[in-house]
Amino acid sequence: MTTLHDPTARGFASDNYSGVHPEVLAAIAAANGGHQGAYGGDDYTARLQEVAADHFGEGAQAWPMFNGTGANVVGLLSMLPRWGAVVCAKTAHIHSDEGGAPEKSGGIKLLTIPTPEGKLTPDLIAQEAWGWGDEHRAQPLVVYLTQSTELGTLYTPDEVRDITSYAHERGMRVYMDGARLSNAAASLDLPLRAFTRDVGVDVVSFGATKNGALGAEMVVVLDADASDGMIFLRKHQTQLASKMRFVSAQLLALLEGDLHLRNARQANAMAQRLRGGIEQGLADGSMHGVEFTQRTQANAVLASLPPGVADRLREQFMFYDWDASKGEVRWVCSFDTTEADIDAFLAALRAHLGSAYADSA
């Protein structure tokens, strides 16, 4: 097949834009050949159960799936009756970026809360955690967290524990969307279970596609009492892979060693390099007009730019507006982002800011 794209092109729109890590491609190839049981009846999926237990604790149940939206819908459906609702941040992926799938496909009512850093707290959750037994109100039964958040911020283990304690005391369960769970683990320098199972999270998704996989995610049930019907819901929601060994092999490639952390550390480090370069530019006056809008704790940098600068910069590097009305953008680094990529981006940003300043003078 002829290569149709420029393999040297780099952008900062999403870690979904990156390719597949060579070790993951090798794992897919290694899993090929011969016949293996379909729909999870294979050696790789069986091994994945052991590896998931190593990372998340004894008894953890891993359910490989195709994509993050499907994982979120299936995971949440397994935790809710038909009359249940999910409390989440207004910026939550299930609310802002999944095309209405939780509502349309899952029939799940979302109770959204504005948050300053994309993070919920018990006090914020309390705004929607009420009305139990009221037949006129969807029952708030699950709290949804994202780690790391859509704004690139992190929950500490203590913050997660405060939320799970608050939720459990009220008969609610806690689901953690871990599309960038490895980025959080790398930044916190903690094992996965330290900020999930050990602090009361009931069900978590593990993101692989953003971290070097071809197309692989999984839901991990940490408390069997919090989830029901996964075996049926995964099929019902079109997330049951017939040749599941190739999905599981990707997850094994990331989790059996330290590849998931190596990839996440690289992405996080490049986000810090990007922020550091801008901070240096602010100090020496070459980045005049840039303002950070969030802390940089994982692999995303959020900032506001002077009018016109983002559009000029996008002619060279793809990235998205976060809030166009405020000139706010989000730059996301990937496992394959290099120092040279960051330096080229900083040079372009510096040049466009200079042009914008000259135009306004």
Q: Nearest 10 degrees: CA dihedral of 140, 145, 149, 153?
A: 110
Which amino acid would we find at residue 110?
L
For the beta carbon of residue 37, count every other beta carbon within 10 angstroms: 12
Joined tokens for residue 209: 């596609």
Q: pLDDT by residue (tens digit) across 272-295?
A: 999 999 999 999 999 999 999 999
358, pLDDT greater than 70: no
Judge whether residue 361 has pLDDT over 70.
no
Average pLDDT over residues 3-18: 93
Mean per-residue pLDDT for 200-211? 98
Residues of the chain above pLDDT 90, percent = 95
Q: Say if CB 102 and CB 86 are below 8 A apart.
A: yes
CA distance 214 to 201: 27
Rounded to whole angstroms, the Cα distance separating 172 from 85 reads: 10
Is-contact 131 140, C-beta < 8 A? Answer: yes
User: Domain ranges in the chain?
Assistant: 22-257, 260-360
Residues 6+ apart with CB under 8 A from 32: 246
The answer to whether residue 190 scores a pLDDT higher than 60 is: yes
* Confidence grade of residue 120 (pLDDT, cut at 50, 70, 90): very high
User: Residues 207, 181: contact at Cβ < 8 Å?
Assistant: yes
Work out whether strand 300-304 and strand 291-292 pair parallel, antiparallel, or are unpaired: antiparallel
Sheet bearing 139-146, strands edge to edge: 61-65, 217-221, 203-207, 173-177, 139-146, 84-89, 109-113
Tell me the C-alpha to C-alpha distance, in Å, between residue 72 and each of 93, 136, 186, 267, 361. Answer: 9, 26, 22, 23, 49
In this prediction, residue 355 carries a pLDDT of 73
Q: Give CA–CA dist 122/277, Å, rounded.
A: 36
Percent residues over pLDDT 70 in the chain:
98
The CATH code that applies to domain 260-360 is: 3.90.1150.10
CATH for 22-257, options being 3.40.640.10, 3.40.50.970, 3.40.309.10, 3.40.50.150: 3.40.640.10
Q: What's the confidence (pLDDT) of residue 356?
A: 62
Give Cα 355 distance to the centre of its chain.
35
| Mean pLDDT computed over 170-179 | 98
Stretch 226-250: mean pLDDT: 97
Size (the chain), residues: 361
How high is the pLDDT of residue 167?
98
pLDDT (0 to 100) of residue 354: 82
Check residue 133 and give its pLDDT. Answer: 96
**Best CA proximity match to 223, nearest among 203, 240, 239:** 203
8 A C-beta contact, residue 188 and residue 77: no
The DSSP secondary structure of 250-287, one letter per residue, reads HHHHHHSSSHHHHHHHHHHHHHHHHHHHHHHHHHHTTT
Mean pLDDT of the chain: 96
Query: If you ran DSSP here, which 8-state letter would residue 4 be given?
Result: -
The residue written with tokens 């490049």 in the block is 270
Residue 359's pLDDT is what?
A: 58
Element (DSSP H or E) covering residue 347 = helix 339-360
Specify the pTM.
0.96
